Structure 1
Amino acid sequence: MNDPVETIRRFYAKLAEGDAPGALGLMSANIEWNTMWHYKVDGRGPERVAEGLFRPLRAEWSSFSLEPTEFFCEGNTVVSLGRFVGEHGGTRKRAEAAYAHVWSVENGRITRFRQYIDTLAVADARKS
């Protein structure tokens, strides 16, 4: 399977199923991951993504989902538009934040991720 959009759809589906290992398994060993909010992925690789993003995200938010609504593809680059929806574990406030994700996919593996998100919507949910 080398269709870049299908790879990204599978990634979102794995997250929706709660299958973090399956989502991490779609990443290249040298993936570069860039986010806009306070979670930082230092270094490269799926384990770094798990340490810097997946684990802290699950610890902070009592529930969350990524809901992609549109996909655009040019070559090996996929842009997905959608929204992050979550309930903050500490404040119990709900966040709905629009996002754009830019993915690079090579040979069925995700090699790069860039996030653009409504950080104000997320910050408001984090405030007591």
Structure 2
Amino acid sequence: MMRNNRDTVAAFYTALAGGDAAAALGLMADDINWVGMEGWPYRAAGRGPAAVAEGILGPMLADWQDLLVTPATFHDAGDVVISIGRYSGVHSVTGKALDIAFAHVWTVTDGKLAAFRQFTDTLLIDRAMR
């Protein structure tokens, strides 16, 4: 069954929430361009699902207890899908809670997540980590 672009993006968040990293990474194009917000403490080294797993998802899951990346709304503009939601969790070292808004801009090409751009308040994550 073919998914529409909004459903492909939603499936990524569903896989993350279910702890299925393989499914989340499997939705990505081999050369996904992942761009985090300036000041965001996690960075992918290079392009592709392996870079995202090693530079972003793995470290985030190690640093945060009960980490949730929860989209509240999706705005489908064809090849571009924008999700608005919240990051939440508790930092495993500081014990400080995180609850911040995000906007994610996704580009979907041929049913795969081809690009990601993040917008969020990096000061608030920095405060939770210190």
TM superposition score category, shorter chain reference: over 0.9
Corresponding position: 1:80 with 2:90: no
Which structure 2 residues correspond to residues 29-48 of structure 1 after superposition, within 5 A?
A: 29-36=30-37, 37-48=40-51
What is the CA distance between 1:109 and its match in structure 2? Answer: 0.4
* AA partner of residue 26 (structure 1): L
TM value normalised by structure 1: 0.96
Residue of structure 2 in register with 1:63 after alignment: 66
Does the 8 A contact of 1:11 with 1:23 survive in 2?
yes
- Could you list the structure 1 runs, at least 4 aligned residues long, displaced by more than 3 angstroms after superposition: none
Unaligned runs of 5+ in 1: none
Aligned residue pairs, count: 127
Residue of structure 2 in register with 1:96 after alignment: 99
TM value normalised by structure 2: 0.94
Unaligned runs of 5+ in 2: none
- RMSD, matched Cα: 0.9
Corresponding position: 1:17 with 2:18: yes
Question: What is the rounded CA distance, in whole Å, between the counterparts of 2:83 and 2:55 in structure 1?
Answer: 22
Does the 8 A contact of 1:97 with 1:119 survive in 2?
no
Task: Render the CA deviation track for 1:57-78: whole Å, top value 9, x for unaligned.
Answer: 1111122101111111112000
Question: What is the rounded CA distance, in whole Å, between the counterparts of 1:63 and 1:2 in structure 2?
Answer: 29
Does the 8 A contact of 1:2 with 1:107 survive in 2?
no
* AA partner of residue 105 (structure 1): V
Amino-acid identity (%): 43
